[in-house]
Amino acid sequence: MREFVVEADGGSRGNPGPAGYGAVVLDAASGESLVEAAEYLGVVTNNVAEYRGLLAGLRAARELDPDARVHVRMDSKLVVEQMSGRWKIKHPDMKPLAAEAARIFPPGRVTYEWIPRAENKHADRLANEAMDAGARGERWSPADSTAELDAGGAAGRRARGARTGDERETGAAADERAAEGVGAGARAGGTPSLSARAGTESAPRAGAGERVGPTAPADDEDAPSTSARADAERARTGAVADAARAGGGAEGSRTGAVAESSRAGAGEADVRAARTVASPGWGPPDMGAPATFVLLRHGETPLTPQKRFSGSGGSDPSLSSVGREQAERVAASLARRGTIQAVVASPLARTRETAGIVAARLGLEVTVEEGLRETDFGAWEGLTFGEVRERYPADLDAWLASPDARPTGGGESFAATGARVAATRDKLVSAYAGRTVLLVSHVTPIKTFLRLALGAPPESLFRMELSAASLSVVAHYADGGASVRLFNETSHLR
């Protein structure tokens, strides 16, 4: 059974006054927005606008999947308590709205949670966009909305420099809120406008420059920086290399992940990268709920900005101060989503430390799984890609050409890593059927999870990038089917 989170809000500039609502439906596993709804309502009260936002969010969720479970998050204490059955509904304007909301899904399939206004920014911005549009005599347009971007979510439809005003007059809200601006698009006198956000979009990486192609897959590594070396790799793999910056922060896959050598300047690229989102799976109802794996790459280590091979056979570095901050940020993001039910980590220090920080925030224990460890890079551990090229050119050429080749000194081939990860996947799918589990691992295992889910060939590892502390999501069904829902999401790091 699919699970959605609905965040909704509504407000009135005058109470009663010009009002609007906003609502967004999120994928419960990934936290990514699937649908936005917003409407200008004319002159109504705060509370009526809030109920109208709730109705729009529930209807949008039902359109996506009428059999889903829904968790509603609102900063209106009144609506949450009344819909939860703890407060009586006395106002005649709200009784029919509450009754209508209760009929959209069967009893027991919708739960309610009050959240602070600061955690409801996306819906708040949508409601303000609606009121602003209504003041201009226009309808809210999802194509022009920047609500998701402004709220710091996965991304907006597009970044815009100019922003409209978003403050409303608070009035004497019956739900005891004070000074809360809301937003939602203007659809005067009409039905809510829905903006589907389930598509995927190619996204540049964070960091200073782009690299696509067969760069070395070490956890923290260097790759050739000259055009000659890039041309040599193109000849061996057929992938496109960026001659200006072939280096790269990969943790055990041939593309690797870009090491964020500077936090400054990465925000704009991460805004684009965060739009990489896949639609939820199409598993049939009789398959039951999938085992959903939220795949988290560990935070940075001291080797990450140096771009050195760092697998399971090296020095086993701990997180750097930057890596610990990244882990704290992802922990806060996952805590807000509230969907993680278990935490499983690779036995290496950097993954156990990352997992420990997240698990402490979620109130969970960490289970260690040997199969999630990084590839063993043999004699290449601790070296940059350039140093390996100079010392072991023939071995490196063979390794780049075939997934069966091992690094110098008896390291682990990608074929062997793939078999290990496949066995681990099967074990975890069986153990966590129907649950959402955070797997804290490394670039090679995470890319392998994704490759296997897509049924892609080994060379697909050349076409993927994973940033430190990024999130990806794969759902596995009982019949062996899988759905990739998210890849390399980094909005939580901004």
* pTM of the full structure: 0.49
d(CA 61, CA 16): 28
Catalytic residue list contains 374: yes
Distance between terminal CA atoms of the chain?
A: 32
Tell me if residue 484 falls in helix, strand or coil. strand
d(CA 26, CA 280): 10
Instruction: Please write the tens of the pLDDT for every residue from 353-376.
Output: 999 999 999 999 999 999 999 999
At 466 the pLDDT is 92
d(CA 301, CA 351): 10
Is residue 246 pLDDT above 50, yes or no? no
**153 falls in which pLDDT band (50, 70, 90)?**
low
- Cα pseudo-dihedral 131, 76, 494, 211, rounded to 10: -70
Instruction: Please write the tens of the pLDDT for every residue from 377-436.
Output: 999 999 998 999 999 999 999 988 899 999 999 889 999 999 999 999 999 999 998 899
What integer is the mean pLDDT of 75-100?
91
At 289 the pLDDT is 79
Q: Which distant-in-sequence residues (6+ apart) come within 8 Å of 450 by Cβ?
A: 295, 456, 464, 472, 474, 484, 487
Contact (CB, 8 A) for 4 and 460: no
Is residue 339 pLDDT above 90, yes or no? no
**185 falls in which pLDDT band (50, 70, 90)?**
very low
Report which of residues 195 and 75 the model is more confident about.
75
**284 falls in which pLDDT band (50, 70, 90)?**
very low
Contact (CB, 8 A) for 145 and 37: no
What b/e string do you get for 180-194 counting C-beta neighbours within 10 Å, with b at 16 or more? bbbbbbbbbeeebbb
**311 falls in which pLDDT band (50, 70, 90)?**
confident
d(CA 165, CA 183): 10
At 288 the pLDDT is 67
At 338 the pLDDT is 83
Is residue 463 pLDDT above 90, yes or no? no
d(CA 300, CA 265): 17
Is residue 102 pLDDT above 70, yes or no? yes
Is residue 280 pLDDT above 60, yes or no? no
Alpha helices in 392-434 (DSSP H): 393-401, 414-431
At 259 the pLDDT is 33
Catalytic residue among 298, 442, 476, 492: 298
At 252 the pLDDT is 36
Is residue 125 pLDDT above 80, yes or no? yes
At 269 the pLDDT is 36
Which backbone phi and psi does 374 adopt, to 5 degrees? -75, 160
Is residue 18 pLDDT above 50, yes or no? yes
Q: How far is CA 463 from CA 12, 251, 448, in A?
A: 49, 14, 12
Q: CB count, 10 Å around CB of 480?
A: 9
Q: Which distant-in-sequence residues (6+ apart) come within 8 Å of 414 by Cβ?
A: 217, 253, 254, 375, 403, 404, 444, 458, 461
d(CA 223, CA 250): 10
* Residue 81: closest CA among 57, 36, 47, 52: 47
d(CA 187, CA 449): 43
Q: How far is CA 335 from CA 1, 109, 239, 329, in A?
A: 22, 22, 38, 10
Residue with tokens 């936290």: 31
Catalytic residue among 7, 39, 148, 374: 374
Is residue 159 pLDDT above 90, yes or no? no
Query: Which of 140-144, 363-367, 448-452 has the weakest average pLDDT?
Result: 140-144
Q: CB count, 10 Å around CB of 13?
A: 23
Is residue 237 pLDDT above 90, yes or no? no
User: What's the chain's average pLDDT?
Assistant: 76
